[in-house]
Structure formats: C-alpha cells, structure tokens
Structure 1
Amino acid sequence: MDLMASLILLLLATLFFIVFVFLASSQLSSTSSGKFPRSYPIVGSYFALAANKRRLIQWTSDLVLRSPTVSYVFHRPLGGRQIFTGNPDTVQHILKTNFSSYHKGDLTYTTLKEILGNGIFNVDGDSWKFQRQIASHEFSTRSLRKFVETVVDTELNDRLIPLLSEAARKRAVLDIQDILQRFAFDNICKIAFGYDPACLTESLPEEKFARDFDEAAKLSTQRFGLPFPILWKIKRVLGIGSERRLRIAVSDVRNFARKIVHDKKREQQLKGSGSSLETVDLLSRFLNSGHSDEEFVIDIVISFILAGRDTTSAALTWYFWLLFRNPHVEDEVVREIREKSDAPIFEDVKDMMYTHASLCESMRFYPPVPLDTKEALRDDVLPDGIAIKKGTRITYHSYAMGRSEKIWGADWAEFRPERWLEKVASEKWAFVGKDPFTYPVFQAGPRICLGREMAFLQMKRIVSGVLRRFRVVPAMEEGMEPHLVQYMSSKMEGGFPATIVDRVE
C-alpha cells in the first residue's frame, strides 16, 4: 500500500514538473515586464508564483503596489482566490472593524499545528481569547518587566559585548544575524522557561534545541509554498522527505519542552506552597496560575519563544544593515546614546526618541513579519469593493505598505527617522506614532502584539550597548545587496557577515 501511494505521488510530481517546465519561463517574462501573472485552469497562477518563489515577498509587493486599489487578487489552484492588500482601510476592516469575520483559519492551523499546536498564535475563538487574557495579565506585571530587563542586561554585558570586543580585536568576520538570533534565543528561553541554552557563549555552540526549533519553523513554513496541501499531507502519512524531518524536529522540540515543564513542576513542589521565592519566568507564572495541562502550557511557551526569538533578531539584523547604508542616521543615533551614557541601566533607553524612530523606520522597510494572512469566515465586501467568499484568504502586506508612495509620500525610499518625529518647545525630539493600520508591523486591533513595548525596550538596549562601543561593518562585496527570505519571520539569506570595529571617541 505504501509503495503504491509513493508511486502515485511520484507520478503526480513528475507530471506537475513537466507542465512547470513549459509554462514557468513564460511566467517569468510576463511578470518581469510589468504585467500581472496569467491564470490557467486547475493550477491558477501557481506557475507564476513558483517562478518567483525565491523573491516571493518582493514579487507580491510589486503586484500590490502596481494595482490601482493597492489590492491584488491572486488565483490559486482549483479556483481558489487569495487577496494581497496594502490598503490601510482593508487592513483596518479585517483586523478591527470586521474582526469577527476573519480568523487564522483551518489552512494556517493545520499547516502550523505540529510546531505551534494550540498556542495563541495558531488558534481562534474562545481558545485564543483565553490565552490572550492570561498573557495580557502576565505581560502587564512590573515584576516580569524587571525580569526581562535583568535578563537582557546580563546577556548583553556578560556575553554579547565581550564576544564583539574579541571579534574586534581579532578582526574576525561574524554572522551578525546568527549572533542576534543566539542572543534572542538565550533571552527568550530564560524569560519563557527560566532555562539558559547558552547559545551565545564564546565557542558559539550548536545548541540542539535551537537547531531543532529552526528546522521545525522552516519546514512548517515551506508547506505554504505547495500548490495543494494534499502533497505535504501525503508525504506526512508516508513519513518521507521534508515531512519526516519535520516530524523528528518537532518531536525533539516538544520532548525538550516537556522535560523542562516536568523539571519546573518538580522545582515548585520542592519549594512548597509556603515558599517566599518569587517565580518570574512565564512557565512558572502559568503553572502557578493553575494551568497544569502539560500540552497547553507547552504550546503557549513555544509560541512565545518563536515570537520573542525571531522577530527581534530579524528587526535588528536589518537595522544594522540600514545604519551602515545611512551613516548620517548612525551618527545621530550614537550622539543620542552618548548623551544618555551616564543614566542608570535601562533608564538610558526610555527617552531615546531618535533611536526609537530609527527602529520604526527600519521596520517600515523590513518588517519582521512581512506578510500575515487571515481567512474569511463568511461572505463579505472589502472597502475597496472586492467581493469575498467564505474561506477566501486575505494577506495584508506590511512589506509593500512600507514602500507605498500613497502612504509615505514621494520620499518613501529614503531612510528618514525624522518622519516619525517632531520638535517640541525644548528643541528635543518627540515621537509621533503612525496609525497601526497604516503601519501594521505589530498587527493591530484585538490581536495587536502584547510584547511590543518589551521588544522596543530590548532592541534599544542592544542598540545602545553595541553602538556605544562598536561599528558594524558588512563584509560583503561592494554593491552586493542582501536577499530577503521569509520563514516565520524575515531573514537575510545566507546570513549577515560583518566585521566589528571599535568606535573612536
């Protein structure tokens, strides 16, 4: 039976490849010449998507910005449609005004279920509301904020700064993207589990949990690129190829998380109910609140590891690249950092308005999550007049919106933090936020990111600690541009090689 299924899968793949060879080249020429992609019976515009797979974010961004309504209807296989939009009114419609009519949807849930389970970022309805309520309470506590500050500062001063100092001394080339991911992974594991994977120690060890987590996230996201979900589902049943690797990676991640949960429960039992010791990591908080269902707790904590690790590291990777490309902005950031150099730990970043604005401007160009998708629960009509059938997927394109002249004006291509600022009476900068539906980098509406302020606090502390002492200089060929790829967050393909140079006072 397994052999027959394998042969059928092989035959289908071969036939699909033959058709692809004949049609993909024409799609490349038509889309590159400024036309919208052609749609064919059964497969829709999948061949255009496959031909542009390596540049999917930029390609879909071009389609969105080319459309007069800033929304594009993509024809999926078997007659399905997916809307890509950069229209703020549509974003507000699906994320707030008509929130109850749009959810994550069955496709997203089943595709990411192995890694995210029933965690907050993968569910809808009552389950989402319940987890949101718990998380909202925990994220609002002063003790958690203080714990986060301590964790970040310890990782920065005890690991990151010494590592960069040694690299500067040796004139070594580091992969800054990898370094920032290690930093963020150590941080979020301490915050979520109270566990230190020590990924950023001097030898830069390959931590199995981090490696398995990466593999699971990458393989789960790649499922979205297939024309028919049945293809990865058949592979999963047969236990072959990428699905076999995914099953192993997810199993290892969840087993490791389960062991930590067991250890944490045992630790709490040993402390006893009369212990005066405060538990500060998220896992301890959830367990102390009476949430003892093991799989539920694991799902929540894995979700926060994914969010806390990938988003901040992605944002900072592109930030350091853009600072190098815009030295006048870097000079202004460094000037502000040095003005705050005598302030207490973490107090120095609260009033760093220009630095805050430069981070927002960086994420306008390179949002950590460039695309996010919702699914219609019922028929609807979008503000731009597009009729929606139940089950239609709508993707709001944060990457395209950050490049929209209609939103940001004729100077949209300039890296200009000043667009987020205004001068106040004292001649100091005051930050001026943007409409979250125009700038949905942290989502908007009821699902707006709970960790937004915490993320800014961490990023500004890292920027302050690094730029006060060092310059980050890309070690790339002149004229070479990094390539953006997306798994569950945006990344530089192949990493971000750079040298670390001591900053001259």
Structure 2
Amino acid sequence: MEWSRGWDVAAALVGLFVFSCIAHRLRDKGPMHWPVLGIIPTFVLNLNRVHDWVTEELASHGGTFNYRGMWLGGAHGVVTSDPTTLEYVLLTRFANFPKGKYYHERFADLLGDGIFNADEGAWRQQRRAAAAEMHSARFADYSAAATASLVHAKLLPAISSIAAKTQRVDIQELLLNFTFDSICVTALGVDSPEMGFAKAFERATELTMLRFIVPPFVWKILKKTRIGFERELEDAILVVHGFVERVIADRRIVMPLNTRSDLLSRLIENQFSDKFIKDFCVSFLLAGRDTSSVALVWFFWLLHSRPEVEDRILDEIYSVLRQSEKKGKDGFGEVVFEAEELEKMDYLQAAISEALRLYPPVPFDWKEAKEDDVFPGGTLIRKGGRVVYSIYSMGRAEALWGKDCKEYRPERWLEEEDGRFRRENQFKYLVFNGGPRLCLGKKFAYLQMKMVAAAVLFKYKVRVGEGQVVEPKLTTTLFMRNGLLVTFEEREKHSSTGL
C-alpha cells in the first residue's frame, strides 16, 4: 500500500513537470524554462556557446524573449536585440531603466559609485565632469601624443624583439599590456604602474564576474566569512584601491597641476573629493584597459582570413603618407601617425568597425526597470525586471545587416559615392552604447585602435598560428578564451611608393 502511494506521488510529480513544460511552450516564446529552475538548465546546457545560442533564440523569436530564473530567486525580465526596444529603454524611457541594484551590488566593492556603476545624481555629476575634460582639445592632443609615444617607445620595440627571434606570442596579452599602460598614462598620468597592480586589476574584474553566476546568498556568505573566491577578490581590490589612492595622494602635492593634462590632475584641480576621484578613475581604467585591446585582437584575427582587406588598408596608409610627404628613417622606418592622418583612413576605420560589429568588446549589457512598463512592440516588463540586451546578437541579425550579416565585409561601412566612412544609427550599432550613456571615450578608442593597427601593419605582417581554437570567453568583455598566438614578420619596402 505504501509503495502504491509512493508511485502515485511520483507519477503526479512527473505529470506536473510535463504539464508545466508543455504549458510554458504554449504560453511563452523563447528558450525552454523548467519548473522551479527556470531558464538556468537551458542556459547551463549552452554555456560553452552562450552568445551564439542567444543569437539563435533571438532570431527565432522576433528579437525579444522573456526569461525567469530559479523559483524564489526573483530574477526575471527580457532578452532583446531589437533596436526599437533599445531606443525606448536607453533614450525614450531612460529614467525608468537605470543600471539598478543587481548590477551595482556586484560591482560596488571594485567600482564603488564610479560612473559605470552609478545611477541618477551620482552618474550625472561624473558624466558632466568626464565630458568637460574628455571633449576638450587639451585632452585630445594629450591622449593622441601619449598613445603615439607608447606605440613607438614600447609596443613596436617589443614586436621588433619578437620578430627578430621569430617567436610566437599571445597578441591578446601583448595588446592588453599596451592598452593598460596607455590608460594609466591618460587617466592617471603614470608611466609605469606598480608591479602587481595590473595583475590584481585583472583578477579583481574576473572574480567580480563570479558574483553574476554564483547565487547571492552564497557569495554574500563567502564575502562575510572571507572564504573562497571572495577572499581573493577582497585582496585584489585592496591592491587596486591602494595603488590608486597613493597616486591621488602623491598628485595632490604636485604643483602646479594646471600644467598636466591627464584626467586625474584635471579632477583634482576641479576640487572633487578623493572618493569621487578614486571611483571615477577605477571605472575609467576598467573601460579603457580591456575594450580597445580585445577589439584589436579580433581585428587582427579576422584580417588573417581576408588578405585583400589588409592590402587595401596598406594602400590607404601609403596614400595618406604620400599626401603628407612623410617617410620613416631611411625611407622605411617607423612612422608616427598623427591624428589628422588617422582621420583620413576611412577604410581602416571601416575594417575596425566591422570587427567590432561581429565581436563587440562588451557583448551584452542590462538595465533594470524601476516601474512596470510596456515596450513599443507590446512586451510587458515588470518592476524589478532586467532588460538584457545582446550587442553580439545585434551584429549578427539578418534583419539588421542582411543575409551576409556573419561575413567580415568592411565595405558595408563606406558610402558608395565617395568611399567615405558611413556612421550607423547608435541603436542599431550599440558597440559604444546609446542614449545619454553613449560612450564618452568613443573618439579616443578609435584613435587608439587606428594608431596601433596602422603602426603595426605598416611595418609588420601579423601571421596567425594554425590549429588554434578561437572562441570567446564568457565574461563581461569578449576576450578570446585561449588568447591568439601570432608571429610578426617585417615587411619589405613598398616598391611603388618608396615607403
């Protein structure tokens, strides 16, 4: 009798499970949601290809689908790649869709109230301060000169040594080191960060990401008891914050500050508090260290499969140099590209923009609804729901980019009439975000990427090693999971130009 009752209960539970699954498929569009566990099992099953899985689901469901997490966990919302929805969220109803508590809570220890972790008043104050400095001619000149100096004092000599030894090197690591030096100079005015700071910064960002995967009640207990990854995270953050605080303290005794153009000096001169400056600078370092370098890694990888694109970039570089009557040492030495020359390289900008479309450095982002809302297409979002938008999926949407959306084709960015670079609608091309939070560093990022790409390609052929598994890593930044091994081969003198 007892056995019979047990089987009856088991059968009832199985029936409830099956009924719940069928009800979900009939009621909701989107990937499979399981009883109690929500979307989590489906997500885990696709963890090794999560970006492509999301892209496929969005393509199958009109660009938007609902999701919910584990029962009683409270996670719910929508995933979208629809430009109309995102314009509504990021611009039209900007005030109703802040970063939100979920995001802020996880980054609070590392970023504090920095610009990328702040909302409302704190965000507006930092945005005004950053815009005033970063859009100034003074900062533009300083950042261009600092980047050029680092390219020729550090990056090219390092590549020259690698090429002479015919070594294979991870270009991702090489470029990460370069962009970290670059952002430290432009943001902090520091040429050589303390040993261990870069490693601690990288570790702090990686461990912070675990808070988005591990349930809150778990990581909060680990944090309180200083156990596991939370202890390592706390130690890494202490190194990061300690370094930035020392730089701020040292800079305050340097006079006069008005002769310096780095962001830290400008913020101190404008009499912001130490906490404000520290939070701002850590956020700026986070944004500037990874994004440009990761974008360039994918660019060089894509270029390897399209030699005709590389040839056209080189033709453009030679053409610009002929116009400026500039030659390197002995007719073919290092050339320092100036901002005005880089501005004329429309095809290079198109080639980089196309790489960014296919492999955006920030592959996804999210906002949180303060109040119930309805998107233009009729989708309801409840208070506290998260709007996750896949920038990676947007770049691969046939509805937005055509049937060749997965092809690397820089020409799609050029005007047919004159071949000049054509800018896209920011809500179709969200690589630099959109609306009031549009990236303030967009101009600097393009300058840095173009300067590095032009300087390296002008002097070297970048050969990608065969047999590598190239795939994205699941983090907030689209790193290559295994890096990218390359060799550098010095170019011969260009016969038709003398360059």
TM class by smaller structure: 0.7 to 0.9
1:143-198 CA-to-partner distances (Å, cap 9, x unmatched) read 11111011111111111111112211211011100111111000000111111226
Map 1:96-495 to 2 at 5 A: 96-197=91-192, 207-226=195-214, 228-268=215-255, 271=256, 278-291=259-272, 293-342=273-322, 343=324, 345-424=338-417, 428-477=418-467, 480-495=468-483
Aligned-partner residue type, residue 266 of structure 1? I
> Which SS does the other structure have where 2:433 is aligned?
coil
1:397-426 CA-to-partner distances (Å, cap 9, x unmatched) read 1100100100001111221111111143xx
Query: CA offset at residue 36 of structure 1?
Result: 5.4
Map 1:19-58 to 2 at 5 A: 37-58=31-52
Task: Tell me, in whole angstroms, the C-alpha distance in 2 between the residues paired with 1:442 and 1:89.
Answer: 17
Query: CA offset at residue 481 of structure 1?
Result: 4.2
Task: Tell me, in whole angstroms, the C-alpha distance in 2 between the residues paired with 1:168 and 1:317.
Answer: 18
RMSD: 1.9
Percent of aligned pairs sharing the same letter:
35
Task: Tell me, in whole angstroms, the C-alpha distance in 2 between the residues paired with 1:416 and 1:475.
Answer: 23
Task: Tell me, in whole angstroms, the C-alpha distance in 1 between the residues paired with 2:48 and 2:77.
Answer: 19
Q: Is the 8 A contact 1:217 1:488 kept in 2?
A: no
1:292-343 CA-to-partner distances (Å, cap 9, x unmatched) read x212110000111111111101111100001111111111111111112253
**TM-score, scaled relative to structure 2:** 0.88
| Range 341-350 or range 249-258, more displaced | 341-350
Q: Is the 8 A contact 2:140 2:444 kept in 1?
A: yes
Query: CA offset at residue 442 of structure 1?
Result: 0.3
Q: Is the 8 A contact 2:364 2:476 kept in 1?
A: no
Q: Is the 8 A contact 2:31 2:57 kept in 1?
A: no
For structure 1, the residue ranges without an aligned partner over 5 or more in a row are 1-22, 28-34, 200-206
Does the alignment pair 1:82 with 2:85? no
| Range 57-66 or range 142-151, more displaced | 57-66
Q: Is the 8 A contact 1:222 1:487 kept in 2?
A: no
Task: Tell me, in whole angstroms, the C-alpha distance in 2 between the residues paired with 1:168 and 1:348.
Answer: 27
Q: Is the 8 A contact 2:30 2:66 kept in 1?
A: no
Task: Tell me, in whole angstroms, the C-alpha distance in 2 between the residues paired with 1:486 and 1:456.
Answer: 25
Aligned-partner residue type, residue 312 of structure 1? S
**TM-score, scaled relative to structure 1:** 0.87
Task: Tell me, in whole angstroms, the C-alpha distance in 2 between the residues paired with 1:169 and 1:302.
Answer: 37
1:188-227 CA-to-partner distances (Å, cap 9, x unmatched) read 001111112269xxxxxxx40000000000011121122x
Task: Tell me, in whole angstroms, the C-alpha distance in 2 between the residues paired with 1:65 and 1:314.
Answer: 26
**Aligned residue pair count:** 453
Task: Tell me, in whole angstroms, the C-alpha distance in 2 between the residues paired with 1:386 and 1:327.
Answer: 45
Task: Tell me, in whole angstroms, the C-alpha distance in 1 between the residues paired with 2:109 and 2:318.
Answer: 46
Aligned to 2:7: none
For structure 2, the residue ranges without an aligned partner over 5 or more in a row are 1-16, 22-28, 325-336, 495-499
| Higher Cα Rg, which structure | 2
> Which SS does the other structure have where 2:321 is aligned?
coil
Q: Is the 8 A contact 1:55 1:485 kept in 2?
A: no
Q: Is the 8 A contact 1:38 1:48 kept in 2?
A: yes
Task: Tell me, in whole angstroms, the C-alpha distance in 1 between the residues paired with 2:460 and 2:30.
Answer: 46
Q: Is the 8 A contact 2:201 2:240 kept in 1?
A: yes
